[in-house]
Structure 1
Amino acid sequence: MGELFDFIVRSRNFILFVLLEVICFYFIINTSNYWSATYFNTSNRYAAQMLAWSNAVGEYTQLRQVNADLATENQRLNQELTRLKQAQPAAPAQYKADSLFANRFKYTVAKVVNNTTQFANNYITIDKGTDDGIQPGMGVISPTGIVGKVKICNRHFSVITSILHSEFLVSSKLIKANEIGTARWDGVDPNLVKLRDISRIKPVSKGDSVVTSEFNSTFPPGILVGRVRSVGVEPNQTFHDITLNLSTNFGNLAFVYVVQNLLRPEQEQLEKQLEAEK
């Protein structure tokens, strides 16, 4: 208290000056219509600017929750879209998938906590593990397309083998040509992959869409892999040399969806039984 009193005594002249300035300013504003209007217009402008800044900061701090909410909503929509596609596949009119087959894919939304793109073999870490039902072998997609496959898990985290991996292969289909091939990264550009095993007699054009095919148990069919960037012919081969623009941007990957095929163990068990009998 004594220090505060000493400060007031030492600064009494300055405090008196500020007080007189405030009183003068008050009288000027209240005795002149011009200065009164100028003051209120100026103060309102700065108040509005401060409010706009405050709202912008508030909206920015809420972006994380907004993104999480959008990811959850996309998860629900992906699951519903997959169910509808599987219930009414491109097949003869007399064919109808049963409800168990149509609902075999289950989606779990997860946040990316680590991601590499600069190596020959790249991996992604997410914040969901076995406690959330994640298991090795499950497919992983993004809101825009394919991402990879779960490699290992613990209770709270999982590591995904990215499509940007030298050994990652995915059965893919050219929609227009209705031709099945294999998408594989060549280890060069993280935005591009190669589509192999497409016969050179099949018509392929720049911009054609490539999606996951029906011939795998990891991904739902119809998930976008990429679009044709360039088409050539492999030397001394009967196949096209096709480069795709990846549909997923791995540089800003924030949320992914882990896909569980509920019927996969049953399918694989039957196929292994057939192999054992050969």
Structure 2
Amino acid sequence: MKPLICVDELAGLIAGSNVLVVDCRKELSSPDSGHLAWTAGHIPGAIYADLDRELSDLSKRGLGRHPLPDETAFSAVLSRWGWTPDRSVVAYDDAGGALAAARLWWMMRLVGASQVRVLDGGWSAWNSSGARIETSQQVPAGAEISVRYDPTQLVDYDALQAGLDTQSILLIDARGGPRFRGEVEPLDRIAGHIPGARNRPFSDNLAGDGRFKSTEQLAAEFKTLLGARVPESVVHMCGSGVTACHNLLAMEQAGLHGSRLFAPSWSGWISDPSRAIGVGAEPRAAL
């Protein structure tokens, strides 16, 4: 199943199936903005997922700004939503999937969900299509569920360093160029990047209308970045493990399967002052 779904297909699913639609809108500078936006209007039947409270555990230290919640905590979230493994999920946000929609998509895949997609164009595409919007707040029918993360989709500090040392990993950083080069840093206390990383801003995945580029264009661009490397060698990162999921989703949409996530990302990497830091543009030598 391709990870993207269009407005018309989602509208059909809402009318004829038991799809779980999840509103993931969020402004990082305004913690309650997403919930307020959902309250003001959302896709019919959509529940709200908060990046900070449900898709992260901000109490954890040394694992970045948006650490993954424990399996038991995420199990409780999914139980509260009424999700079961046979129920499809569609996530959306108002940032082309880049804030929390792609993060939820990836987390659902991490627990083995196969029927999970992101709305291409997100809230903007739905709203501009003239499709129905509602303000009623759904109360999901809870269903007790217990999930486990697939460790093969994750890369920890030691595995990342070992892969960089042996050049068996291609680390792709989804932050914007100025942040990657260390010219600015609006969120973290240290600017720069992990030495050896390559830069692919997540915004490069989107066309001018806020939807993803065509499958063919995404495939061509990522194949150029990968060179002779296989997709399974790719590890994604960003500032806190959120927008990195956008690049992972784009590769899956392009048919380049098997890349992984370094969830702590830059904010986690710099939690240990002994770790190396790079600045400036990455080298462009053939891989």
Shorter-chain TM range is under 0.3
- Higher-RCO chain (CA-CA 8 Å, sequence separation at least 6): 2
Structure (1/2) with the larger strand percentage: 1
Q: What TM-score, normalized by structure 2, do the two folds share?
A: 0.23
Structure (1/2) with the larger helix percentage: 1
Q: What TM-score, normalized by structure 1, do the two folds share?
A: 0.24
Larger Rg: 1
